[in-house]
Amino acid sequence: MVFPPRKKMEEVRLMKGNEAIAHAAVRYGVDGYFGYPITPQSEVLETLEELMPWETTGMVVLQAESEVAAINMVYGGASTGKAVMTSSSSPGVSLMQEGLSYIAAGELPALVVNVMRGGPGLGTIHPSQADYFQATKGGGHGDYHFIVLAPATVQEMADFVGLGFDLAFKYRTPVMMLADGIVGQMMEKVVLPPARPRRTEQEIAEQCPWAVTGRPGWRKPNVLTTLELDSYKMEENNRRYQQTYDLIRRNEVRYKEYHTEDAEYLMVAFGSIARICLKAIEDARARGLKIGLVRPVTLWPFPEEIISELSKKVKGILVVELNAGQMIEDVRMAAKDRVPIYHFGRLGGIVPNPQEVLDAFEDRFLKSK
């Protein structure tokens, strides 16, 4: 009797979302991480320091003197075609906005992880989703966007490292992983991605002909600048950026649907709050309330089309966020005032439970009748 070959066992680990990012970065073959500690994302840097990838893969791990320094190190590393990243939390990402604008203008690939905490100001170390505007509307200056991925699980925290870099290099644009503090700090099972080798200098030369290295014969001039004093050339640059953004809008919209086939009402939520909403919806359906859920995975580009289509079928939409109401603006634009749209959110780091979400739904759509 011949036994079939045994399947290779998946490597399943129990870890925090922040830890999963660090492990995934090493396995992806990231060339460099430049960051600065801030709660609730400090475990990214701490885990990388424990893994010491500079001894195994050659990955550079450097704690910068500030968030401003970190994003400019990313700017420099990205300009050479290297796969580089940083991570921070809300006020730290605010400090990075100028550098992010430069990276976008330089048409450079980079990954920025933002594990959100409450604000404004220094705020709280507790979870929030109040950086939605900062991420999706371009917190820095100028007409630019970057792709924004919103993980809802520890598994997605790991998976989106590879996806983020793949998209960043495909479109030569920064990508932000916008996670809330819940996903960063919670522990779940995660299947770590298979290791891939770091690219050789020759591979970088072939894949990134735009990269600067300072070596004669690669790129001339060997200087990267986003300054353009000729207004017509600057307009030409901006039109090129917009063409890239239009291409991203057409090709990279990602979302998940739950129970939308027969839904009479709809909830829209992202990140960990979508998981809470899904439990509320399951409880509601057990009572005969037909509610569906759309979870945007890309916050930019936003899944306008699916929300537009569902708004033609449902009686109302409840947008649930850990903020005072930010994503609801994009939902309203997509739904075009076809149905009533309400917001429910908690502030200050308070996380609602499924019953609170369901109570909010009933208060807005059922009790008013």
**Span 37-88, pLDDT tens digits:** 999 999 999 999 999 999 999 999 999 999 999 999 999 999 999 999 999 9
Is domain 256-365 annotated with CATH 3.40.50.920? yes
Q: Which of 344, 348, 349 is nearest to 363 (CA)?
A: 344
Question: In the predicted model, is pLDDT for residue 312 greater than 60?
Answer: yes
Q: Kindly list the domain boundaries of the chain, sorted by start residue.
A: 12-251, 256-365
- The CA distance from 76 to 213, in Å, is 10
In CATH, the number for domain 12-251 is 3.40.50.970
- Do 12-251 and 256-365 have matching folds? yes
More confident residue, 139 or 162: 162
pTM over 0.85: yes
Q: Would you call the peptide bond into 301 cis, given omega within 30 degrees of 0 as the criterion?
A: yes
Closest CA to 289 of 264, 267, 314, 317: 264
Q: Strand locations in 76-193, DSSP E? A: 84-88, 110-116, 147-149, 174-180, 187-191
Q: What pLDDT band is residue 6 in, cutting at 50, 70 and 90?
A: very low
